[in-house]
Chain A
Amino acid sequence: MTMSTLKTAVCGLALLAAPLAASAEELVVNGEIEMITETEPAAHLDGALSTVRSGWTFRTTETKALQMDDFENPAMISVDNGMAAWNTADGAEGKSCADCHGAMEDSMEMVRATYPKWNEEAGEVRNIQMQIDDCRVNQMSAEPYGLDSRPMLAMEAAISSVGRGQVVDVAIDGPAAETWEKGKEIYYTRFGQLDLSCASCHELNYDNYIRADHLSQGQINGFPTYRLKNARLNGTHSRFRGCIRDTRAETYSVGSPEFVALELYVASRGNGLTVEGPAVRN
C-alpha cells in the first residue's frame, strides 16, 4: 500500500468515526426526548463539582444505546405494568389512580422532577413512593405496595417515564431546608469499616474505577433504574443501602427519614439534569 492510499484510508476512518462519537454523546430517547446529560452545577454545590453529569455518560456505548429506544429499554415492561395499575381500580373505595388524577401523562408530568418534596399536611418531606402508598391507604383503602417492592417500582417508573425530559428542580429552601441540611450531613459523613462517605467516591473520584466498576457522580435522575446486574428495577433507597453496605456499615432502612433526607440532597445535586427514569445502568 502506498503512502497516499494509506492516508486516504485513515482519513476515511476518521470521517466514519466522527458522527458515531457525536451521536454517542447525546442522549435522545425515541428520537424525540432530548436529555441534558451534562450541565452547570447548582449554586448550593459551591464548587464541589466542576460539572454535573448524568450516570448515563459513564456507561458503555452498548448500555447507553439501550436507553435511547423504549423498545430496547427492558424497564419499559414494568412501565406498562405501572400504567395498567394506574387505570385499574383497587381497594375498598373501588377507585383507581386515574379516577382522581386523570391521565398520568397530564397530571404526573412534573412529579418526578420535583420530588422529594415538602408535604404541608404531613409536615415532612416525602418521596414519590411514600406519596403513592399514602394515596393507596388513605384514598383508595387498598393495601400499600411497600417501599421498593416490584409493583411500587413499576408505578414509580411509569410516573417517571411521563416526566422524562423535564429538568430536575427539587426545592431545597423553605420548610424542606432542614431535611436538606440533614441529607447533606449524611452525604459527607464517613461510614463503615472502610470509612467512606458518599463524597469519597461520587464527588472526589467519579470517572475513576472502583475495582471493575466505573464510578459515576451518583446522580439519581435516572431512578428507578433498570440494572443489568440484577435484571430488574431498583429504587433509590435500595441503591443507597447497597452503597452503604459496601462501606461495611450498618445501613439505614428503606424509607427511613435519613434516606429521605439523603434522597432530597442527592436529587438537588442533580438539579439541572433531566429526568431519565427508568434509566438503564450496570
Chain B
Amino acid sequence: MADNVTPRVRVPRDAAAGETITIKTLISHPMESGQRKDSDGNTIPRSIINRFTCEFNGESVMEMILEPAISTNPFIEFQAIVPESGTFAFTWYDDDGSVYEESKDIAVS
C-alpha cells in the first residue's frame, strides 16, 4: 500500500478551438519495482502505478501502461487538441487496486 499518493494535473484554463494544448500530470508514488530486497534479504513486493488514462468528455485521449522501470513520482506530459469546452478526467490505477482520479475543466472559445 502506497502512502501519500497525491495526483497533480496542469491543464490550461482556456484555449482556442482546435488549439494544441500541453497537459502535465504528476503523481507522487514510490513505484517500488519488485526487484529490490530489504536489509533481511526479503523481496520488497512490487507496488507501482500500472495504468494511466486521460479522457475528454468521456472520449479517450490517451492511455498508458506503466512498467516497473519507471521511476518514483511518474511525470507524464502530452499534448491534445481540444474541439470544445469540457472536462479532462485523469485516472491512475495502482497495483493495490486503488484508483486515483483528478479532473480539470477547460473553456474553449
Contacts and interface: CB of A to CB of B under 8 A. Distances in A.
Nearest to B73: A77
Nearest to A78: B28
Contacts of A74: 73
Contact of A77 (B10, B24, B28, B71): B28
A45 to B, nearest CB: 39
Contacts of A231: 71-72
Contacts of B4: 81
A72 B28 CA distance: 13
A63 B4 CA distance: 27
A238 B72 CA distance: 23
Contacts of B36: none
Given A77-B28, A81-B4, A71 B73 contact: no
Interface string A70-93: 011010010011000000000000
A72 B4 CA distance: 19
Interface in B60-86: 71-73
| B contact patch SS | loop
Interface size class of B (residues with CB under 8 A): 10 to 19
Contacts of A80: 6, 28
B8 A71 contact: yes
Interface string A225-247: 00000010000000000000000
A71 B72 contact: no
Given A77-B73, A80-B6, A81-B4, A71 B28 contact: no
Interface in B7-42: 8, 10, 24, 26, 28
A223 B73 CA distance: 21
A133 B8 CA distance: 30
Contacts of B10: 71
A80 B8 CA distance: 11
B6 A71 contact: no
A74 B73 CA distance: 9
Contacts of B72: 231
A74 B4 CA distance: 15
Interface string A141-179: 000000000000000000000000000000000000000
Interface of B: 4, 6, 8, 10, 24, 26, 28, 71-73
Given A74-B73, A77-B73, 13 more contacts: A71-B8, A71-B10, A71-B24, A71-B26, A72-B24, A77-B6, A77-B26, A77-B28, A80-B6, A80-B28, A81-B4, A231-B71, A231-B72
